[in-house]
């Protein structure tokens, strides 16, 4: 057996072990149900223990509140509905998805992506595929079902190995999941959970929806550059000798845009640009209604900052409708509503998970367990106060490891934020920086775990070209991306905040 074959075999065996372990974990919704019971039991047991830690909010010794007492349990039952409806990520994500759903349903998003790929020079195919994968995050899962297979199509049509195109697209869509210069539904989702974690220590604290925007924008350039180099210098040379043996008639082709699609895309982009220009012009006047009472734009009191989710909604809704009517994919308002309805169907599982996360976060907060854990963790980490980089790197690595077993970004952060955010706040590290570290770890290992829901689908995409493709094949292709991303991106984050570049709107590096 050659060294390469032996390495692939070892990778396949390791992945099989990870898959067996991961399959034993419960569904994320069930996991949070179990954690809710754990919180109840721990709060009961620890309510009898006296702690010396001082609550920074009250200046008094911390005490755990028994959530199994009669009064606490009845209060919990009265708040079940409001825990869910008032949970920040729910409303913000759903509103954003209503607009994105129309743009997706009408074909605006898919046509725009195809147009970008059709006009790209051959030598720029790799960075363009990765870049389009990154931009596709605005449509949540659209990249998995659209960009990744098209990556294979366009590489194959250009005479390059189609698996390299799939790998490059997968790296952009999933490996660079948190690298984007276009606001996406992930931003309010993570921001809401981060804010919930921060309010365990500071109930009045607010986190800006775009608190990581500048960092994720800079990260998109990093991911494109790294992915380009890895694809052209490591992945494609390695698989160049792999025979394309898919059924010829089943191999997809990249069709030119139809005249009606071109016309629809032109007018929808005109509508989008016009909307952005009007928004920018309305921001300029000193007395703009978008500004706060002091004339500032980047504060929590400024209406523009409170309207980010609504603007994302309109940014996709209006061009989506224009495209649909011009291209003929939308016949009336009923089709617009159908697009919104379809997008909500795809959010059903997300809502189920969010319901149980909301109950867990409430009980975790009300019990004071989050504050206790944060203070105990801070005490243990006091020796590292002068080395914040070590703490940030630890969060990245731990998140990347957990990501191998729990694929849901909201599920992982819903579990980790109530612990990490307040703990690092007590050490003077802002929730904004903690969230940025989480995003790096969460993205980097997506592409090497079979437990990620779309991983098997990518294997199927590969099998259309190379019938013998398996999990080990795909993992061996994606491993160079994953390892490079997590190392280089972590170093980039450390350098980024060491140099003091802004993380995003209304963001900081320190707390308070």
DSSP result, 84-128:
HHT-HHHHHHHHHHHHHHHHHHHTHHHHHHHHHHHT--GGGHHHH
Please identify every stretch of the chain with a pLDDT value under 70, giving residue numbers as ranges. Answer: 1-28, 55-59, 88-89, 117, 137-142, 145, 185, 247-255, 298-300, 374, 377-385, 405-411, 415, 450-451, 453
Instruction: Give the Cα separation of 481 and 176 in Å (integer).
Output: 10
The per-residue pLDDT for 269 is 94
Domain-located, residue 510: no
User: 157 lies in which domain range?
Assistant: 24-53+67-498
Tally of structural domains, the chain: 1
Q: Is 397 helix (H, G, I), strand (E, B) or coil?
A: helix
The per-residue pLDDT for 211 is 92
The CA-based angle 179-185-189, given to 5 degrees, is: 95
The two tokens of residue 473 are 């094949």
pTM of this prediction exceeds 0.75: no
The two tokens of residue 304 are 């523009």
Domain-located, residue 286: yes
The per-residue pLDDT for 378 is 57
- Helices and strands, number each (H, E), in the chain: 23, 0
Instruction: Give the Cα separation of 256 and 27 in Å (integer).
Output: 42
The per-residue pLDDT for 12 is 42
- Residue pLDDT, tens place only, 154-196: 888 777 899 999 999 999 998 888 888 877 767 887 888 899 8
Domain-located, residue 489: yes
Domain-located, residue 10: no
The two tokens of residue 299 are 């504060």
The per-residue pLDDT for 141 is 63
- Residue pLDDT, tens place only, 353-366: 889 888 988 998 88
Domain-located, residue 512: no
Cα-based distances in Å from 110 to 103, 127, 239: 9, 18, 29
- Cβ atoms of 477 and 235 within 8 Å: the answer is yes
Cα-based distances in Å from 250 to 146, 155, 156, 321, 474: 17, 16, 13, 33, 21
**10 Å Cβ neighbour count for 101?**
27
Domain-located, residue 61: no
- Cβ atoms of 50 and 61 within 8 Å: the answer is yes
The per-residue pLDDT for 17 is 56
Domain-located, residue 505: no
Instruction: Give the Cα separation of 173 and 148 in Å (integer).
Output: 8
The per-residue pLDDT for 16 is 45
- Sequence-ordered list of residues with C-beta below 8 angstroms from that of 385, at least 6 positions apart, any chain: 427, 428
Domain-located, residue 7: no
């Amino acid at each position: 057996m050659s060294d390469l074959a032996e390495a692939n075999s070892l990778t396949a065996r390791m992945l099989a072990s990870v898959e067996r372990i991961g399959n034993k974990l419960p569904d994320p919704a069930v996991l949070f149900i179990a954690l809710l019971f754990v919180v109840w039991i721990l709060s009961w047991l620890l309510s009898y223990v006296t702690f010396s830690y001082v609550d920074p909010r009250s200046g008094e010794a911390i005490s755990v509140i028994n959530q199994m007492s009669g009064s606490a349990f009845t209060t919990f039952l009265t708040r079940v509905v409001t825990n869910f409806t008032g949970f920040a990520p729910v409303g913000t994500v759903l509103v954003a998805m209503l607009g994105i759903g129309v743009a997706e349903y009408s074909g605006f998003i898919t046509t725009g992506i195809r147009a970008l790929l059709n006009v790209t020079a051959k030598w720029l195919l790799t960075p363009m595929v990765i870049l389009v994968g990154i931009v596709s995050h605005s449509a949540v899962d659209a990249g998995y079902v659209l960009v990744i297979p098209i990556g294979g199509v366009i590489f194959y049509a250009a005479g390059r190995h189609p698996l390299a195109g799939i790998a490059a697209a997968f790296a952009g869509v999933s490996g660079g999941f948190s690298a984007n210069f276009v606001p996406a539904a992930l931003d309010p989702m993570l921001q809401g959970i981060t804010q919930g974690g921060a309010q365990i220590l500071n109930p009045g604290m607010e986190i800006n929806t775009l608190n990581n925007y500048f960092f994720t924008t800079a990260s998109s350039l990093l991911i494109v550059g790294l992915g380009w180099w890895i694809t052209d210098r490591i992945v494609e040379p390695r698989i160049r000798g792999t025979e394309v043996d898919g059924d010829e008639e089943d191999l997809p082709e990249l069709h030119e845009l139809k005249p009606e699609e071109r016309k629809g895309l032109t007018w929808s982009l005109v509508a989008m640009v016009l909307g952005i220009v009007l928004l920018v012009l309305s921001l300029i006047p000193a007395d703009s209604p978008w500004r706060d009472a002091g004339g500032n734009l980047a504060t929590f009191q400024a209406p523009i900052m409170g309207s980010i989710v609504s603007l994302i909604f309109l940014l996709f809704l209006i061009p989506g409708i224009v495209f649909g009517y011009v291209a003929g994919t939308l016949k009336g308002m009923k089709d617009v509503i159908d697009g919104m309805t379809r997008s909500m169907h795809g959010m059903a599982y997300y809502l189920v998970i969010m319901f149980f996360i909301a109950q867990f976060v409430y009980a975790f907060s009300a019990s004071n367990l989050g504050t206790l854990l944060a203070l105990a963790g801070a005490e243990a980490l006091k020796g590292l106060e002068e080395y914040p980089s070590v703490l940030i790197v630890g969060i990245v690595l731990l998140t990347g490891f957990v990501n191998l077993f729990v694929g849901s970004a909201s599920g992982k952060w819903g579990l980790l934020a109530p612990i990490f955010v307040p703990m690092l706040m007590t050490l003077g590290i802002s929730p904004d920086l903690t969230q940025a570290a989480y995003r790096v770890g969460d993205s980097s290992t997506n592409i090497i775990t079979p437990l990620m829901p779309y991983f098997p689908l990518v294997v199927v995409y590969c099998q259309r070209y190379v019938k013998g493709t398996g999990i080990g094949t795909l993992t061996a292709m994606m491993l160079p991306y994953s390892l490079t991303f997590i190392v280089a991106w972590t170093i980039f984050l450390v350098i980024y905040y060491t140099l003091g570049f802004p993380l995003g709107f209304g963001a900081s590096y320190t707390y308070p």
